[in-house]
Chain A
Amino acid sequence: MKLSDITIGQHFPGQSPVHLMDPRAKIVVTGAYIVMLFLAQNLLSLLVGAVFVLITYPASGIALRLILKSLKPVLPIIIFTGILNLFFVSGEPLWEFWRLSITAEGIRLAVHMCLRIVCLIAGSALLTYTTSPIALTDGLEALFSPLKKIKAPVHEIVMIMTITLRFIPTLIEETGKIMSAQKARGADLESGNILQRMRAMLPILIPLFVSAFRRAEELALAMESRCYHGGEGRTRLRVLAFSGVDVWAAVFTIAFVFAVVAINISGPALGIPGTLR
């Protein structure tokens, strides 16, 4: 796996309808989408969720191939989930070997779980792909602002989240540079057992941490020298406003949620086996 393959947290600017949506609407739609995935009780309703992603990606002008790229790092988790569900679900066994047995329910559940994880990552990645970190902060802050009433430091928490997102690509780039530099000094990162490999990571992790702290300090200084003092009394250059795109997005999303719920309810009647009990 190459480091440049990690695209989660990156932002690809654009002018598509998805890009033009209000960040608040986008966050709510993403939330609704996640709920939708968890509501889906059979494979057909989950497929509806997958279709949602398959429509929104082209609509945003983001290449579908990027999904595969962002999935690569979590592939082990997906495979692990799949295998776990495949073998450890009780039911009518289709195939038996030693103590392992594969059941029809197991297969269904494994497929369901894997597909759900893929959809979750793809859908939430689209939010950061199409929303600039600044817009994302504004959106989150607006959505969580009711919590300010109970003295929660909403602005600060959101700022921390945004900075984290913003620095993921930077730190990935930095890691690549440090790896090259240590490889140039003969560091062997590719061979040896797990323990040796972990030790071989030290020359990369230590400079990475040092530079992360240095960057944090520089950023804090830069913010302070521009008189940043938190959210109190801050006005905005860009005031968030809903537009026609957001209405359409809402209609589109509600339609999908209804479709999922409808298939869930009518599933047994249609003879579609449920995967989750």
Chain B
Amino acid sequence: MPAIIKTESLSHVYSQGTAFEQAAVHDVDLEIEKGAFVGVIGHTGSGKSTLIQHFNGLLRPTSGRVLIDGEDTWEHPKQIRRFRFKVGLVFQYPEYQLFEETLYKDIAFGPTNMGLTPDEVDVRVRQAARFVELPEDMLQKSPFELSGGQKRRAAIAGVIAMNPEVLVLDEPTAGLDPRGRDRILGEIKEYHQQQGNTVLLVSHSMEDIARLADKVLVLARGRVFMYDDTRAVFARAEQLEQLGLSPPQITKICTRLHREGLPVSPEIFTVGAAKTAILSALGEKERNR
């Protein structure tokens, strides 16, 4: 698979040359394959937000390069907007960016900026609204009349409507109740499956990452600590815990059972898989009796 996002010794230093100089991202070499669902984890201040803002050219690397689909993002600074449409970035608490009179106009903001015709925009808006399960009749409402979860989904639709090749979401479920969280994650997963786009999901919830991502990127102190298949990353539980990150609760239970001598694999990340494994382990015990 060719790399859709590639960074070459990417570094970013904030307030360079002043007393407040602070390296947020340090010498990152990374290749993200087309069509992958990548979970991004790391402690607060590990450089997650800084890194993802390089992918759509909101930040300019202080050194190194970022290549999107083989193109250097900052080769022609005047054309940087192209990459904003290629890599759609959903910020934390995106509902605070809603501004239009109607939801329709707000979702149309991105596609309109792309220079699409009104007809094309219309198709994009309705498609995006369908993805986040906002009913058609809601489109003519003011975004400020919606509930918190609806606002969040509307804001995500605003980015999805640009039909980006890469969708980056920075903690899209922060501050939502469990039902709202599951709903958004389900919609993102569905979007990924249907469109086959590359998705990067920044999250603090190991459970969510374990359930959704094929690969996991672990950042620590502005560097890539691990980048591997989800299974391989969570198998290195001790190293993760040293970073203050903890593998999913269910993995901890399975690891413990494994250590106690039960035939349960320590590489289990979802409750469903754990249930099957534990039941079969119990069955084996019965049979051995």
Minimum CB distance partner of A182 in chain B: B97
Cα-based distance from A63 to B17 in the complex (angstroms): 14
Q: Is B39 an interface residue (CB 8 A)?
A: no
Cα-based distance from A207 to B144 in the complex (angstroms): 10
Minimum CB distance partner of B15 in chain A: A4
Point out the residues of chain B lying under 8 angstroms from A180, CB to CB.
53, 58, 91
B58 engages A184 (CB within 8 Å):
yes
Could you say which of A95-103, A109-117, A185-193, A218-226 contacts chain B? A185-193
Which residue of A183, A202, A203, A210 is within 8 Å of B84 (Cβ)?
A183
Known contacts A63-B19, A210-B144, A184 near B89 by CB under 8 Å: yes
- Closest beta carbon of chain B to A246's beta carbon, Å: 29
B91 engages A177 (CB within 8 Å):
yes
Which residue of A4, A65, A178, A183 is within 8 Å of B58 (Cβ)?
A183
Point out the residues of chain B lying under 8 angstroms from A210, CB to CB.
96, 99, 144
A184 engages B91 (CB within 8 Å):
yes
Which residue of A65, A182, A184, A211 is within 8 Å of B88 (Cβ)?
A184
Known contacts A63-B19, A177-B91, A210-B144, A185 near B96 by CB under 8 Å: no
B81 engages A186 (CB within 8 Å):
yes
Cα-based distance from A210 to B93 in the complex (angstroms): 14
Point out the residues of chain B lying under 8 angstroms from A65, CB to CB.
18
Known contacts A185-B162, A186-B114, A203 near B109 by CB under 8 Å: yes
How many residue pairs between the two chains, A and B, have CB atoms under 8 Å in the bound complex?
59
B113 engages A184 (CB within 8 Å):
no
- Closest beta carbon of chain B to A173's beta carbon, Å: 12
Point out the residues of chain A lying under 8 angstroms from B162, CB to CB.
185-186
B19 engages A211 (CB within 8 Å):
no
Q: Is A181 an interface residue (CB 8 A)?
A: yes
Interface string of B125-160 (1 = CB under 8 A from A): 000000000000000000010000000000000110
Q: Is B94 an interface residue (CB 8 A)?
A: yes
Cα-based distance from A109 to B126 in the complex (angstroms): 63
Cα-based distance from A203 to B90 in the complex (angstroms): 16
B110 engages A181 (CB within 8 Å):
no
Cα-based distance from A207 to B110 in the complex (angstroms): 16
Point out the residues of chain A lying under 8 angstroms from B109, CB to CB.
182, 185-187, 203
Minimum CB distance partner of B161 in chain A: A185
Point out the residues of chain B lying under 8 angstroms from A211, CB to CB.
96
Point out the residues of chain A lying under 8 angstroms from B18, CB to CB.
65
Interface string of A71-106 (1 = CB under 8 A from B): 000000000000000000000000000000000000
- Closest beta carbon of chain B to A75's beta carbon, Å: 19
Point out the residues of chain B lying under 8 angstroms from A182, CB to CB.
97, 109
5 contacts between A and B (CB under 8 A): A4-B15, A184-B159, A187-B109, A203-B109, A210-B144
* Given A180-B58, A207-B97, 9 extra CB contacts under 8 A: A177-B96, A178-B96, A178-B97, A182-B97, A188-B81, A203-B109, A206-B99, A210-B96, A210-B144
Q: Which 8 A-B pairs have the closest CB atoms?
A: A186-B113, A206-B99, A185-B110, A181-B97, A184-B89, A181-B91, A203-B99, A207-B99
